[in-house]
Structure 1
Amino acid sequence: MTDELSSCVLPTLYIFLDEGGNFDFSPTGSKYFTLTCVSLYRPFTLHTVLDTYKYDLIEHRLDPRIEMEYFHCADDNKFVRGKVFSMLASSVPHDSVDSVVIEKRKTGPALQPPEKFYPKMLSYLLKYAVEKAPHGVGEVVVITDRIPVAKKRNAIEKAVKILLVSMLPAGTPYRVMHHSSRAHYGLQIADYFNWAIYRKWEQGDDRSHKTIAHQIRSEFDIFMKGSRHYY
């Protein structure tokens, strides 16, 4: 009976969030801002592979200046970055990555404050991720990197909670957690995917993006139909 009941329990959906770009909406700021999420179910098989590779790097001392505490795409050297992208391409389930791309010059002034911007953009991103979850949802756990600015952190939590309450079946549990990316491979994976997507849009460099394109389920330019949006 216990085995029969456990087989009917829907799995927990883990959603790891990362972002690219800055909040400078002047001409000197980044052209784009990206929000990317990776949706995964346990077991996290890639975590073991990444952990093994991290210790290989430590033992082989490929670059003695790097302590290799964790993977961070922008800081990792070209060799490490290429290897990690190849592991993501072979181990992360297809269609598990969603991204919202925002062309910042089209963002009206009323939408630019973080407490306005985040709820709007996150609602598009997470709604799609949860609705397209392939194995159903028993619980939703949204994990972001630690956020030092309280206003921004509160805006994210508010957006996630409002959205999940509105779309999940009554009684479905959910949580929003802020972990250090150093301590969680899920966030490091999200960082790599977001880096590839952001670099494609911001710099026109899609070399890494091509490697992991089959993992990307959606990559939506939120303002593609209009020249400027006010909210």
Structure 2
Amino acid sequence: MSTVYVFADETGNFDFSRHKSATKYFGVGTIVLRDHEPDALSADMAQLRRELAWKDQGLDSCFHATEDKQPVRDEVFGLISRHAFRFDVTLLEKSKSQPQLRTSDHTFYKYAWFYHLRALARSEFRQGDSVFLVTSAIGTKKGRALFRAAVDDVMRQNLSYRVPRVLAFWPNSSDACLQVADYCLWAVSRKYERNDTRSYDLIKAKIRREYDLFAAGTVHYY
């Protein structure tokens, strides 16, 4: 019996158009840790932040892959490589999503989460485990309630009611493990959005499942 900690982040936006600011993909990514593993990862991330501060790097923010300078990214990816967790990611090419899947942002979000968590539950959770799922908070206060309800419903559909569970929506800045999930997902999104595999190559050994849900689809709806 273990406590399974799932730290999640999302990539992409809900702009379903060909506008230059619209992402091609939306994705959900999770790192999975057990029992005391989050403590060790968080401690190492905190120590790295202090070490970088002594070098006058990353002084005014938490770790965030999109905003960090490359020397900081290199250090974080080096730390990630030394920890034994697995990363799962589910990607949806937005233009291939049928109109009924994107009637609202939280509807599409829930669809992505359903397929991601269904696969994760089958591969990761064992009889007697407890599940602590933390996802990075998104949207406005009102919107977050809808996104939270979406993930909560997906958990009910994919986990036995007997499984003790906690669902938390925390700011990315509040937990180092969320920042690690952000880094891993950023590396994968760079591969799919920009065909840039530099960072992806650094974390690919951590990837257990990388699934493009609509890969077989041939119809683009916009």
Larger-Rg structure: 1
TM-score normalized with structure 1 length: 0.85
Which residue number in structure 2 is paired with residue 83 of structure 1? 75
Are residue 161 (structure 1) and residue 156 (structure 2) matched? no
1:82 counterpart letter in structure 2: D
Q: CA deviation at 1:161?
A: 2.6
Please show how residues 170-189 of structure 1 align to structure 2 within 5 Å: 170-189=161-180
Deviations 1:49-72 (A, max 9, x none): 11111001112324xxx4243110
Which residue number in structure 1 is paired with residue 97 of structure 2? 107
Please show how residues 182-197 of structure 1 align to structure 2 within 5 Å: 182-197=173-188
Please show how residues 1-231 of structure 1 align to structure 2 within 5 Å: 10-28=1-19, 29-43=22-36, 44=38, 45-62=40-57, 66-93=58-85, 96-112=86-102, 113-133=104-124, 138-150=129-141, 152-228=143-219
Segment of structure 1 superposing worse, 29-38 or 190-199: 29-38
Aligned in 2, Cα 1:161/1:72: closer, same or farther, shift over 3 Å? Answer: same
State the distance in 1 between where 2:106 and 2:170 align.
20
Report SS of the residue matched to 1:132: helix
The answer to whether the 8 Å contact 2:148/2:169 transfers is no
Number of aligned residues: 216
Consecutive unaligned residues of structure 2, counting only runs of 5 or more, are: none
2:87 counterpart letter in structure 1: V
Deviations 1:9-45 (A, max 9, x none): x211111111111111110111112211111113222
TM-score normalized with structure 2 length: 0.88
The answer to whether the 8 Å contact 1:72/1:192 transfers is yes
The answer to whether the 8 Å contact 1:46/1:92 transfers is no
Segment of structure 1 superposing worse, 202-211 or 129-138: 129-138
State the distance in 1 between where 2:117 and 2:211 align.
12
1:97 counterpart letter in structure 2: F
State the distance in 1 between where 2:180 and 2:127 align.
22
Q: CA deviation at 1:151?
A: 5.6
State the distance in 1 between where 2:142 and 2:93 align.
23
